[in-house]
């Protein structure tokens, strides 16, 4: 049974409009494990007890924010609370922890989107490659549609806040892992939501400029996941409590591995953990 040992990071994802089944690879140290090929096979994972920060590489007793040490948590712009709540972006106030990082990541075009992850949700993303965002795949969205284009992160957060009064902004991961969701008419949902927020959106345009917020001319996207069987009742694997697990890989969705006996594990949660992966 081949095995690799190293610190992991979240699974890398890719898909195209021509082949919309998500392809997964798990970084283990400097190597990549092609995960789709392992579905239906036995997988063994063991945590050594070692954790290293995904940013600075230093050993840490506890992982914060999915892979960071405490020092990086409190000093990096990418770990600031405004990353979770973009409507609180404070780059324009001159108080960004890392102005150069903020210039690149916050002062660039963002997209406000709709997704069907088992429940309809609104979200934001910076990148939509070949009409598909890796963020949608990470969240386990089966359908997605870009709704609006905005000039920066703050504006995307302000628009998202308007939408949150009418639609959720979070994925229910348990619902997402239950199976394929019922298909939604994403264009109809988009039209209805835009009508609901139109007065507030017009006020925001008056502040930001009439061209700052534009309706995106985009087609709905369908995304498929490599899953043989979905769990009936979800049992979450916790590497801090159970540092070793093995079983047949039933599928992958979002950043979750689906195992036999209804077990699931969120691999993104354990970024920076040193694992031995045997398959």
> How much is the average pLDDT of 96-101?
97
> How much is the average pLDDT of 50-55?
98
Indicate the length of the chain as a whole number.
279
| Domain spans in the chain, listed from the N-terminal domain onward | 3-69+257-278, 74-222
List pLDDT tens digits, range 155-203: 999 999 999 999 999 999 999 999 999 999 999 999 999 999 999 999 9
Structure tokens at 40: 């239906």
> How much is the average pLDDT of 98-104?
96
List pLDDT tens digits, range 207-237: 999 889 999 999 999 999 999 999 999 999 9
pLDDT band at 127 (very low <50, low <70, confident <90, very high): confident
Max Cα separation, the chain?
62
Give buried/exposed letters for 195-221 (b at 16+ CB in 10 A, else e).
Answer: eebeeebeebeeebeeeebeeeebebb
Q: For residues 9 and 271, is the Cβ–Cβ distance under 8 A? A: yes
Look at 245 and 1; give whichever has higher pLDDT.
245
């Amino acid at each position: 049974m081949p095995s690799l040992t190293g610190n992991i990071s979240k699974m890398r994802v890719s898909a195209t409009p021509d082949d919309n089944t998500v392809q997964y690879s798990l970084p283990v140290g400097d190597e990549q494990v092609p995960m789709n090929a392992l579905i239906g096979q036995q997988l063994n994972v063991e945590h050594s007890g070692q954790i290293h920060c995904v940013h600075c590489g230093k050993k840490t007793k506890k992982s914060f924010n999915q892979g960071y040490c405490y020092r990086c948590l409190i000093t990096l712009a990418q770990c600031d609370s405004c990353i979770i709540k973009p409507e609180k972006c404070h780059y324009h106030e001159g108080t960004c922890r890392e102005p150069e990082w903020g210039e690149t990541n916050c002062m660039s075009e963002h997209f406000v989107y709709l997704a069907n992850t088992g429940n309809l949700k609104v979200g934001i993303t910076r990148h939509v490659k070949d009409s598909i965002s890796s963020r949608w795949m990470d969240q386990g969205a089966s359908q997605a549609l870009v709704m609006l284009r905005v000039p920066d992160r703050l504006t995307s957060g302000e628009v998202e806040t308007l939408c949150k009064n009418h639609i959720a902004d979070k994925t229910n991961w348990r619902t997402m892992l239950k199976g394929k969701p019922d298909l939604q008419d994403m264009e109809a949902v988009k039209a209805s939501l835009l009508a609901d927020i139109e007065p507030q959106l017009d006020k925001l345009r008056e502040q930001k400029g009439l061209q700052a917020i534009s309706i995106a001319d985009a087609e709905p996207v369908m995304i498929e996941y490599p899953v043989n069987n979905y769990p009936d009742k979800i049992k979450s694997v916790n590497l801090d409590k159970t540092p070793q697990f093995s079983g047949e890989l039933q599928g992958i969705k979002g950043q979750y591995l689906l195992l036999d006996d209804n077990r699931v594990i969120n691999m993104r949660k354990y970024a920076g953990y040193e694992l031995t992966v045997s398959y």
